[in-house]
Structure 1
């Protein structure tokens, strides 16, 4: 068969039966010098090659801002190792030029290119562009880690809008108000964007819990199946994907039912959905547990395990110093009994620990980093002040070409002192538009947004066009644009600034009323909305 088919079948077999425990043991055993580099992992790739690729990707991951779930990270390591071994024996992949050009426009292509160059240096091979294209497909299809931060230039408003509608639909079906749950919304967006890329590329994901989830949450499963058919009609979601979405909703619905008292760490390998579901099941079964933190196996080595009252895991933990109890992700009756026994065994230790914490409380309060906190508050306030003081709605005369309209507009913004090199900023905005439409479906406005080196101050402006014209919509179609929302941010804006812009972006699509306000509201009305938005954020912030 062709090279592409060979890689696909091996890749699918690995992803379907991915053994995260074996992977971690490989890394740990190598550290202790107990393994042979020539041994095969998963019966496919050499252990020595795998370890080299894993070390390389581990160092590149933060530098490239890659945020991957455990399974996606390991699948990428195995994919890269297998690709290197095939390239070394002269087997390379071909890709249609049109498909490769399309991939080059995505933000993941640049990351793939940098990984490829690092692999070339490490293994002394030449990696053709087609291989980089397939690496890009892999990155676009990978599940994100739940620790991912949302940046202004990465927000996919089309998916965000449809996710909001899906949450509204399930809220109506179940009778629970889920619309204001930020954790549910963020978890779904971080799952659905790569899931859609994965399904478009005909890549399947294996979910070993599908049948149990379908059995235990039959009505919720059916409701979500109906919801994705309604709001994502161009994508066929298989049952395994729907089951993962059920975990996100199921966890929130479970959390609403009980309140509890102990601080626990929940460890899972299959992502945020199962971690949340297990945490909420534990809350339901064990009222003693008040607070849960979630971790993946990969992140566990960076966490202070001793700071938790108990650790519950769905997979074996390969670290001898950690005391934990292993259960199934959906916590059956036997699991619940064993967790209760585990808590009883630890009661004397927990009481002593709580006393020690109380006695140390005053000294802890004295060591609070007020300087750091003050700097953080100052950063938030600086961005809020800049956005509010420079917010404006202006009339804009259009030209015959969209590109020239954008160029004239950026030159105007440059003359106002917000940016420099207007033509390069214009090119950045048009390139961002090419990656996916910026028109908000069902409205006559679009959100043009960009982070760039040549933007000097954070800007949120609105422009009413004297003549509406057609642009590409986020759903892939065409729509009229009579109003343009413009969000510009310096490349080094910082976490606080990105968070404020994300707050505005989310508020644009939070409801039909909100979209109508941003699409047709006056300067005073939208200013009032922004003031309320920032006031609520400051009021609820935990500095």
Structure 2
């Protein structure tokens, strides 16, 4: 019989003490932990309870109930009275050990660790065996010597990377930015929050917003959160005297190597004054490097719609699910856009070995059991040579589940914005659940927690969040993406007693009307933006037969760019050439099963979007010894409207259509324009 922790004992007593279902949220409130932690504990408890012949019954919309024979329940009660609880779960113990070792200035004795955790030295040794591969992923070493103790050695930068990853694997966004108090009974949780600089995190975030940098607003939420966590960890390490040893370790040897150095110096000066902390020059270099790398990663990733390999994965996955269900998922553009946005970072996390956490996995498997098995089979058919965990399958199921439930929008009278920590999948699922269950709510969109904290109250009626927010409690309501029956009642009650009450207190009704009119005008502007982009792209589309005899790939691309000189499309072609070659080195640009390649980039040296086709006299060799005879060049400015990005996304998706590929390889410029015009018009009409 395995040991149980005090928290697990608490949960079991709660389940034994009720005669009906109890929700994970109620368990979390009673035990002082997050809902995510409750779901994680349930996985371990199922094995423990199974030894008594008992089960955890989970019913969607109702909650969790302990079921089994009375003899098993009696045996469990007897066990709880006699068994001495373990101080920490195995998972908590390992987190504690990592926190202690990553902050220690000198080796820690195994006996000391064992004494602190109330386990044997052998248990600590076993934990360290399991932790060693994780530590090595960051270029660090777990050093153990008899009589010496144990320590983690390596560069300060690598230790900071490990700390950030540890936090990402074990903390939710609401743990970091919400107002929820730290759990008094969980020293491991508090230790981890302290190590990542939770106390200073909001000061760091507010200082960054005070800088009024435009690029921070453009960052995807996951990238923004990684940056914020990296900065908070840096502040914490400086506070405890764990500084960077050399300029090379900081990432650059000179201040002039950073394009962000001036802004970084201002940021660090403001932050230092606020926290009464002095940042050495090497830390300024390091923070500037964080800003540089975030901008570089964003600029290379934000044109994911041009990534044909990613497009093909989404296309094949959708087709696989269509074949198994008969449902027309391929016609759902919202599904495609959601999968495109989700899958790329998901695959990167899996390749890096990052632990995928999905606190909704249990309910998803219950509510969408049939769809879960279908998506699992569809993913396996992709043969990605990766082990895709059930947690990730759960996120994909949420995308397809949202598509299944997507209904025509009805007239609504409550304007809501959504904040979902689990990303686009949970926000889309919650939005469609709201459409179905509460058609009076108009979902204005999904935003990040930091946007919600700064949004004008007159721009919305209601914030619906799946996480704790750094806002006063009456400004938002927290529910789960699955929107259970009791949460629907809770939401209706909130709207009646808070949202509508606030409305009736206002004597003016005209602002609501003006907001509606403004929204109508914004929709018209958006439609016009899409039409303008489609018309201008097709008007500027050109086809060239290129004599590239004896030219390699760089020379061929250079010749292609020369055809655009004087057109007003591009500026510095040398910089664009390097960007195009860099993208080819990162991933193949070849359309699968064709001799056609899509080369694309966004840059401040591009002045307007452009689509140009080149048929080569001789095939040119790309990475991986692949030869192509036709290249489609898609260029776009660095700053691009949402409407323009949608159009470019649609054109990229059309390249998976064999009809367009045939036209690009064989037919005339006029025929290609007619086809693109017809398909883009259909795309526009579907948005109306």
Query: How do 1:250-329 residues align onto structure 2 when only pairs under 5 Å count?
Result: 250-256=401-407, 261-265=412-416, 266-286=418-438, 288-289=440-441, 291=443, 293-305=445-457, 308=460, 310-320=462-472, 322=474, 324-329=476-481
Inter-partner Cα distance in structure 1 for 2:647 and 2:350 = 32
Give yes or no for contact 2:258–2:289 (8 Å, CA) kept in 1: no
Tell me whether 380-389 or 433-442 shows the greater mean CA deviation: 380-389
Number of aligned positions between the proteins: 510
Inter-partner Cα distance in structure 2 for 1:194 and 1:430 = 22
Q: Which residue of 2 aligns with 1:506?
A: 653
Offset of residue 484 of structure 1: 0.8
Offset of residue 138 of structure 1: 8.3
Is residue 478 of structure 2 the alignment partner of residue 332 of structure 1? Answer: no
Query: How do 1:67-82 residues align onto structure 2 when only pairs under 5 Å count?
Result: 67-69=219-221, 73-82=224-233
Flag the 1:263–1:52 CA change in 2: closer, same or farther, 3 A. Answer: closer
Query: How do 1:336-415 residues align onto structure 2 when only pairs under 5 Å count?
Result: 336-342=488-494, 361=513, 383-400=533-550, 401-414=552-565
Q: Which residue of 1 aligns with 2:633?
A: 486
SS in 2 for 1:50: helix
Query: How do 1:134-149 residues align onto structure 2 when only pairs under 5 Å count?
Result: none
Give yes or no for contact 1:508–1:514 (8 Å, CA) kept in 2: yes
Flag the 1:243–1:358 CA change in 2: closer, same or farther, 3 A. Answer: same
Q: Which residue of 1 aligns with 2:141?
A: none
Offset of residue 213 of structure 1: 1.7
SS in 2 for 1:42: helix
Inter-partner Cα distance in structure 2 for 1:260 and 1:375 = 21
Offset of residue 160 of structure 1: 2.0
Q: Which residue of 2 aligns with 1:126?
A: 282
Question: Which ranges in structure 2 are unaligned for 5 or more consecutive residues?
Answer: 1-151, 182-189, 273-278
Q: CA RMSD in A?
A: 4.7
Flag the 1:81–1:232 CA change in 2: closer, same or farther, 3 A. Answer: farther
Tell me whether 211-220 or 311-320 shows the greater mean CA deviation: 311-320
Is residue 670 of structure 2 the alignment partner of residue 524 of structure 1? Answer: yes
Max Rg structure = 2
Flag the 1:366–1:380 CA change in 2: closer, same or farther, 3 A. Answer: closer
**Alignment equivalent of 2:344, drawn from 185, 193, 204:** 193
- 1:194-237 CA deviation, whole Å, 9 max, x = no partner? 11222222222322222222232222222222223333613322
Offset of residue 485 of structure 1: 0.6
SS in 2 for 1:450: strand
Q: Which residue of 1 aligns with 2:177?
A: 24
SS in 2 for 1:207: coil
Offset of residue 481 of structure 1: 0.6
Flag the 1:418–1:534 CA change in 2: closer, same or farther, 3 A. Answer: same
**Alignment equivalent of 1:226, drawn from 365, 377, 381:** 377
Give yes or no for contact 2:572–2:605 (8 Å, CA) kept in 1: yes
Offset of residue 264 of structure 1: 4.9
TM-score (norm 1): 0.76
Is residue 326 of structure 2 the alignment partner of residue 175 of structure 1? Answer: yes
Give yes or no for contact 1:439–1:446 (8 Å, CA) kept in 2: yes
**Alignment equivalent of 1:428, drawn from 565, 569, 579:** 579
Flag the 1:320–1:281 CA change in 2: closer, same or farther, 3 A. Answer: same
Relative contact order, higher structure (CA 8 A, sep 6+):
1
Inter-partner Cα distance in structure 2 for 1:186 and 1:249 = 12
Give yes or no for contact 2:196–2:229 (8 Å, CA) kept in 1: yes
SS in 1 for 2:373: helix
Flag the 1:159–1:207 CA change in 2: closer, same or farther, 3 A. Answer: same
Inter-partner Cα distance in structure 2 for 1:86 and 1:162 = 41
Q: Which residue of 2 aligns with 1:245?
A: 396
Inter-partner Cα distance in structure 2 for 1:457 and 1:344 = 49
**Alignment equivalent of 2:195, drawn from 31, 44, 51:** 44
Inter-partner Cα distance in structure 1 for 2:349 and 2:292 = 11
Offset of residue 10 of structure 1: 3.6
Flag the 1:112–1:275 CA change in 2: closer, same or farther, 3 A. Answer: farther
Q: Which residue of 1 aligns with 2:61?
A: none
Flag the 1:351–1:419 CA change in 2: closer, same or farther, 3 A. Answer: closer
Question: Which ranges in structure 1 are unaligned for 5 or more consecutive residues?
Answer: 29-38, 102-108
SS in 2 for 1:398: coil
Q: Which residue of 1 aligns with 2:205?
A: 54
Tell me whether 166-175 or 57-66 shows the greater mean CA deviation: 57-66
Flag the 1:219–1:91 CA change in 2: closer, same or farther, 3 A. Answer: farther
Offset of residue 112 of structure 1: 9.3
TM-score (norm 2): 0.61
Offset of residue 444 of structure 1: 0.7
Offset of residue 174 of structure 1: 2.6
- 1:448-503 CA deviation, whole Å, 9 max, x = no partner? 2233454455432211112223213xxxx443211111123455665554444333
Tell me whether 174-183 or 149-158 shows the greater mean CA deviation: 149-158
Q: Which residue of 2 aligns with 1:33?
A: none
Give yes or no for contact 2:543–2:669 (8 Å, CA) kept in 1: yes
Inter-partner Cα distance in structure 1 for 2:498 and 2:235 = 49
Give yes or no for contact 1:269–1:315 (8 Å, CA) kept in 2: yes
Offset of residue 527 of structure 1: 0.9
SS in 1 for 2:359: coil
- 1:166-204 CA deviation, whole Å, 9 max, x = no partner? 122223323321222222222221111111222222222
Inter-partner Cα distance in structure 2 for 1:303 and 1:359 = 17
Is residue 606 of structure 2 the alignment partner of residue 450 of structure 1? Answer: no
Inter-partner Cα distance in structure 2 for 1:176 and 1:323 = 39
Give yes or no for contact 1:254–1:280 (8 Å, CA) kept in 2: yes
- 1:60-89 CA deviation, whole Å, 9 max, x = no partner? 7642565232x6544432333324544674
